[in-house]
Each structure stands twice: as structure tokens, then as C-alpha cells.
């Protein structure tokens, strides 16, 4: 099966299908200081021509906090067919929304009600601008690569449909013992990484867990993956960037009988004799950005690269 192209794809107003139906996701721990802005966003939606469906737990949560919440149709487990999904929260909520949508191809726009917001980059205070952009088609859609893992041998099991938009991490179990991550790329032995684990990251995830362990920042449209050790026991073990067509084979050694395989923070425990293969999945997660958003501007604002020096 051929993989979809990596680069950013722009959708122009004159070719875009009008947005009619929005599905809203959100977390259940919204900051109290943003509650008024969140309710105002829903009031704008109520006054708009959009058909709006809200995740039931999220709607009930907001309704309990503010009785002025407008009435909307809700959904429980499976997202209804919609034109765009709206994720309200931070980057963790965005990842949960992507997880819920899976390979559906439904574009996601992140409305930030939290703090940092690499993925959820539209502030909830800019709700009017966002709805105008969706109505006019003044936005672009980026296709982001995701990772999947499969069991090659051993007795372990990975739940069907598991994938990662940010990273797949190989982690030691709840013990102080280090693990040895034996790694090969495209069938060629690479290294024995000894330490707390290893992170295989997409460009999207390069500013997440990968960055915190000293991995490189990768421009989102780059057809590349990062392989970064976690707390390596050798200074010669450094992060590595490889093509996103690379197939990465992993096996783990340790004094303890198990280790953890994490998909964007959702993990499964596997026995030591399990070998795993990690590669790019045959689908993308599609992200909506409003006009004016660029990767460079995100780095300047989120990492304070544009801050004045003294």
C-alpha cells in the first residue's frame, strides 16, 4: 500500500466544500478563568448557521458549570459524520480527539482553552475569527503523518487501531532498572540504547516529549522521524533523524519481565521477549489552521524565540 504524501496541503476558498456540520470535543477540566469565553463560543455557534453536535460528557460538564449553555445535539462514543471536528482544550485534548477520529480523515481544528497550545493554536477568545474563517474558507489543511506499531513475535498484544500522532515511546516498567532497547532500521542493526527508553517521534510530536529529552525540532511537512533515547547511559547515544519511510524494529532487554509501549501517553505492557515494528501508518491526521498561522510564528510565540534579550 502506498503511503499518502507528507507535505502540507493548502485548501483554497474557491475549491473548498462549505463547512456545515461541526462536532465538538473537549476535556472535563476547563480553566475557570476561561469558562465565560467557552460559553460565549457556544452562544456564537448557537446563533450561526452551522449544525453543531457536542460530545455528551463535555456538554453535560459545561451545562453543570453554566446554566446559560445553549442546547445542542450530543453524541456519546462514536463521532457523527461531520465536516470538521473542533477540539476544545489543550494539546492533550487534541490528541484525544485525533484518537477518537482515527483514520476517518475528518479535519480537526484546535481551540486552545489552556496554556501552551502547539496543536490547539486558536485561542478561544478568537472564536468569532475562527467561525468567519471556516465560513469563508480562509484556512488551510495540513496532513500530518502518524505512527503505528505491530507485534512481530512474542506473547504481547497491541489493541487494534492504536496509532500515535506525536510519538511512540518504549519505556521501562515501574522500576528503577534500566532497559536496553535493541534497534534496527530497515533491517540494518542500529544501536543498543541503554537507559530509560526510546522515543520515535513524528514531526508533529517533535515539540513534545521528543523535545524534552533533547530531540530535534522538525518542521511539520518534513518527511522525517526522530529516534531519541531517554536518559541514555552513554553520552555517545544521540538523537537521530531518519526518513519517514523507515521501518524501525525494536526488542527490549531488562532485568524485569516487562516493559511499556506508549502511544501518545496511552500505554500497553509487553513481555520482554516481544519484538515490535514501528512505521508510518497508511493514513494521516488532518489539521486545520487559520490564515496567518506559520510554523515559524508558532516557535516564536511558544518557545519565546522572539523575546527580547537583555
Residues classed as catalytic: 91
Residue linked to cell 493514513: 283
Q: What is the largest CA-CA distance in the chain?
A: 61
**56-65 vs 35-47: helix axis angle to the nearest 10?**
120
- Residue 123 pairs in a beta bridge with 112
Residue 44's closest CA among 159, 170, 153, 128? 128
Inter-residue contact 24 to 53 (CB < 8 Å): yes
Which residue intervals of the chain are DSSP H helices? 35-47, 56-65, 91-101, 127-136, 209-212, 295-302
Residue 284's closest CA among 227, 202, 169? 202
Amino acid at each position: 500500500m502506498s503511503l499518502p504524501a507528507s507535505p502540507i496541503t493548502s485548501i483554497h476558498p474557491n475549491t473548498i466544500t462549505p463547512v456545515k456540520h461541526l462536532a465538538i470535543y473537549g476535556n472535563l477540566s476547563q480553566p475557570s478563568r476561561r469558562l465565560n469565553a467557552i460559553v460565549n463560543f457556544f452562544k456564537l455557534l448557537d446563533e450561526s448557521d452551522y449544525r453543531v453536535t457536542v460530545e455528551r460528557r463535555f456538554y453535560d460538564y459545561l451545562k453543570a458549570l453554566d446554566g446559560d449553555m445553549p442546547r445542542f445535539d450530543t453524541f456519546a462514543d462514536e463521532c457523527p459524520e461531520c465536516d470538521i471536528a473542533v477540539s476544545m482544550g489543550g494539546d492533550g485534548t487534541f490528541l484525544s480527539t485525533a484518537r477518537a477520529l482515527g483514520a476517518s480523515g475528518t479535519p480537526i481544528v484546535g481551540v486552545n482553552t489552556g496554556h501552551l497550545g502547539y496543536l490547539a493554536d486558536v485561542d478561544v477568545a478568537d472564536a468569532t475569527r475562527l467561525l468567519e474563517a471556516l465560513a469563508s474558507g480562509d484556512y488551510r489543511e495540513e496532513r500530518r503523518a502518524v505512527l503505528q506499531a505491530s507485534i512481530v513475535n512474542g506473547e504481547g498484544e497491541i489493541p487494534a487501531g492504536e496509532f500515535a500522532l506525536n510519538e511512540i515511546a518504549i519505556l521501562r516498567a515501574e522500576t528503577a532498572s534500566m532497559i536496553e532497547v535493541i534497534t534496527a532500521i530497515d533491517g540494518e542493526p542500529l544501536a543498543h540504547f541503554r537507559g530509560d527508553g526510546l522515543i520515535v517521534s513524528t514531526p508533529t510530536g517533535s515539540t513534545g516529549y521528543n523535545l524534552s529529552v533533547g530531540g530535534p525540532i522538525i518542521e511539520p511537512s518534513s518527511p522525517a522521524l526522530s529516534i531519541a533515547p531517554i536518559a541514555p547511559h552513554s553520552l555517545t547515544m544521540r538523537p537521530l533523524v531518519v526518513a519517514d519511510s523507515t521501518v524501525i524494529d525494536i526488542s527490549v532487554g531488562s532485568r524485569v519481565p516487562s516493559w511499556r509501549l506508549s502511544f501518545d501517553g496511552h500505554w500497553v505492557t509487553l513481555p520482554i521477549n516481544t519484538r515490535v515494528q514501528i512505521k508510518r501508518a497508511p493514513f494521516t491526521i488532518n489539521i486545520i489552521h487559520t490564515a496567518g498561522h506559520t510554523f515559524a510564528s508558532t516557535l516564536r510565540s511558544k518557545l519565546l524565540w522572539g523575546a527580547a534579550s537583555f
